[in-house]
Structure 1
Amino acid sequence: MLVGHAVRMGKLIRLGDRWALPYRGMEITQIRVDNALTLVLSGGALIAIEAEAELSTPDGPVRLRPDRQKVAEALALVGTKLTWEIIFKNGELHLGFDNGYHLTVEPDPGHEAWSATGPGELRVVCSPGGEITTWGRS
Structure 2
Amino acid sequence: MSAYTASDPAGSVVAAIGARWSTVGGAVGIPVELVGAQVTRTAFDHQVRITFTAHGPDGRVRLGAELVVETELSMTDADGGQVLLVPGTGSRLAPLLDLFTRTVTEVEVTGRGTLRLGFDDGTGLSVDPDPDYESWSLSGLGLDPVLVGPGGESGWQ
The question of a shared fold, defined as TM-score above 0.5 by the shorter chain, is answered with: yes
Is 1:107 the equivalent of 2:129?
yes
Alignment of 1:23-38 (within 5 A): 23-38=34-49
Is 1:65 the equivalent of 2:86?
yes
SS in 2 for 1:76: helix
Residue 39 of structure 1 corresponds to 50
Residue 9 of structure 1 corresponds to none
SS in 2 for 1:104: strand
Aligned length: 130
Contact 1:54 1:61 in 2 (8 A): yes
Is 1:13 the equivalent of 2:22?
yes
Partner Cα separation in structure 2 for residue 27 and residue 68 of structure 1: 25
Partner Cα separation in structure 1 for residue 128 and residue 143 of structure 2: 24
Residue 97 of structure 2 corresponds to 75
**Paired residue type of 2:138:** A
After TM superposition, give the deviation of residue 134 of structure 1 in Å. Answer: 1.9
Partner Cα separation in structure 1 for residue 97 and residue 143 of structure 2: 27
TM-score with structure 1 setting the length = 0.83
4+ residue runs over 4 A deviation: 15-19
Q: Which runs of 5+ in 1 are unaligned?
A: 7-11
Q: Among the aligned pairs, what percent are the same residue? A: 30
Q: CA deviation digits over 1:23-46, x for unaligned, max 9?
A: 100000010111111111112101
**Paired residue type of 2:67:** I
TM-score with structure 2 setting the length = 0.74
Contact 2:28 2:113 in 1 (8 A): no
Partner Cα separation in structure 2 for residue 135 and residue 107 of structure 1: 16
